[in-house]
Structure 1
Amino acid sequence: MKIAIIGFGNLGKTFASSFIKSRFIKSEDIHVVTRTLPKPEMTLGIPMVNFQNIPSSEITGMDILILATKPQDFDVVAKGLNGLISEEQMVLSVMAGVSIEKIKDKLNVKKVIRSMPNLGTQIGLGMTVFSASAETDRKDLFIIQNLINTTGKSIYAEDESLINPATAVSGSGPAYVFYFMNAMIKAAEKFGFTSSEAEVLVHQTFLGAINLQSASDLSNEELIVKVASKGGTTESALKVFNAHDLDKIIADGMRSANRRAIELGA
């Protein structure tokens, strides 16, 4: 299987690296189109001859084309690819906000998969939601999901409209976690812990909680009850969170992220 990656930024590099490390795709079968050619030591083992500044006829021989450019650059990229893509090639997009229909129209292709990966893909713990055009069959989806799963886990959404909420949940999600962690670190420092001590306290707490939740059959509500004994310290903190409707604030923030994702795709 041969793959062309258009764009060699963070996501383009992440996918190339994951494909190679998983041995799903050979490095020599990956071709890259990028504005700036990388130094030989930054190619991830992909032969330098496989890097191009502008798309060439080699694109026509690729089985899958991955669009890893910025969404605002898509119109220009599409013009550069004009006449080089056949109707039967699969196109996997990791561009935020660009619809399947627009990609089909601009590139004159039928099989388009639109995905929303998150930051965790960089370390193989990503969460990606993807949807596909009607012309994409089960075999195609199986291949694409296996490719995506080299970067973590994935969920297939039959309804493309779920890609925007996925952006609000998992796409932006890591930033919500970092925000909460940062708030806890600042609070710990005000208690008197040093910056490094506060970092360790909060980091290990999150790491332990995530692994505990993953290993447990209990729901999040049940796990909260296990930590929050009646009349104890945790219950006291949770009362403050509830009094300020923290769950509603989080939901409102995610709804705002969803609205913005819709606006960007308009």
Structure 2
Amino acid sequence: MENTGNTIGIIGGSGMLGSAILSALLGSEAFEQSNFWVSNRSGNASNVEQSSIIHFTKDNQELVDACDVIILCVPPARFPDIDIHAPNRLVISVVAGVTIGEMKSKTASVRVVRAMSSPAASLSMAYSPWIANTEIGSDDRDIVRKIFGACGTTDEIFDEQQLDHFTAMTGPVPGFVAYFAKCMVDHATSQGIAPDVADRAIRQLFLAGGTMLAAASTSPADQVRWMIEYAGTTAAGLIAMEQSSLSKTISDGLLAAADKARSI
């Protein structure tokens, strides 16, 4: 069947990630003609924008029966409790650690997409990679691209195991970036800078740095190389960092997070 995606249901749509995705879709011109369903434990508008085009229920199967596209967005620990029958629906899962095979078995859906996103979707700033099973056609792919395009930036990938690494790297917003910022704030305060000034300075640094990095056509590696070649104060710091174990420490942390994603 051709998938128009006119009715989209989010199971777990009142949670942090589910409500962020819903907010992105509601704010996107691509879904102006769509209706939405949200299922949660109360069946009421909880942490979700109230709108006449959003229907709330606590019955997951009622949502499935009413919708063309199902976005499964529950914590991994709640996944075993999900009991839906969706053989003729496009099912998109953003549940960490749950494979396409497990999703097909759980939902009876033939058309399954496994994805990763983040609460930054509420600002249309999430990075959402996704992988589809072989039964997904071009119409379904268009819907998936529109959904995650509304959430920010997206790519289709073709190795399911890579999603565990993306879950580790780009899922925890601000996560690892916040830790690096914390280290810089701690350094500044240890040098006698007032905590509120240090906090404000580093927040602005990361805002400017992230915006410039996203807008640049050059790679992060190229930008580091150019800063080192400039041979200024930043170069001295970068050289010291490159000569330290910082790169390995970061990699070890990301591997630990990816291992956790696999074992959830």
Same fold (TM over 0.5): yes
Higher mean displacement: 87-96 or 195-204: 195-204
* Mapping for residues 116-265 of structure 1, pairs under 5 Å: 116-172=116-172, 174-228=174-228, 232-264=232-264
| Distance (whole Å) between structure 1 residues aligned to residue 95 and residue 253 of structure 2 | 22
Cα contact 2:228–2:239 (8 A) shared by 1: no
The aligned residue for residue 29 of structure 1 is 35
* Mapping for residues 59-138 of structure 1, pairs under 5 Å: 59-78=64-83, 81-82=84-85, 85=86, 87-138=87-138
Seen in structure 2, the aligned counterparts of structure 1 residues 107 and 49 have a Cα distance that, compared at 3 Å, is same
| Distance (whole Å) between structure 2 residues aligned to residue 128 and residue 90 of structure 1 | 17
Higher mean displacement: 141-150 or 226-235: 226-235
1:142-171 deviations in Å (ceiling 9; x for gaps): 111111111101111122122111112212
Cα contact 2:21–2:119 (8 A) shared by 1: no
| Distance (whole Å) between structure 2 residues aligned to residue 222 and residue 76 of structure 1 | 47
Cα contact 1:66–1:94 (8 A) shared by 2: yes
Q: Alignment RMSD, CA only?
A: 2.4
- Name structure 1 gaps, 5 residues minimum: none
Cα contact 1:5–1:67 (8 A) shared by 2: yes
Higher mean displacement: 45-54 or 175-184: 45-54
- Name structure 2 gaps, 5 residues minimum: 1-5
3-state SS in 2 of match to 1:109: coil
Q: Aligned pairs, how many?
A: 258
| Distance (whole Å) between structure 1 residues aligned to residue 262 and residue 92 of structure 2 | 20
| Distance (whole Å) between structure 2 residues aligned to residue 240 and residue 39 of structure 1 | 52
3-state SS in 2 of match to 1:50: strand
TM-score after normalising by structure 1? 0.87
| Distance (whole Å) between structure 1 residues aligned to residue 105 and residue 252 of structure 2 | 34
Percent identical pairs in the alignment equals 24
| Distance (whole Å) between structure 1 residues aligned to residue 248 and residue 221 of structure 2 | 16
The aligned residue for residue 3 of structure 2 is none
Higher mean displacement: 103-112 or 173-182: 173-182
| Distance (whole Å) between structure 2 residues aligned to residue 59 and residue 216 of structure 1 | 42
| Distance (whole Å) between structure 1 residues aligned to residue 174 and residue 73 of structure 2 | 20
3-state SS in 1 of match to 2:104: helix
Q: 1:246, CA displacement in angstroms?
A: 0.8
3-state SS in 2 of match to 1:160: coil
| Distance (whole Å) between structure 2 residues aligned to residue 230 and residue 49 of structure 1 | 54
Cα contact 1:27–1:46 (8 A) shared by 2: no
| Distance (whole Å) between structure 1 residues aligned to residue 49 and residue 33 of structure 2 | 8
Q: 1:48, CA displacement in angstroms?
A: 9.2
TM-score after normalising by structure 2? 0.88
Q: Give runs of ≥4 in structure 1 deviating > 6 Å.
A: none
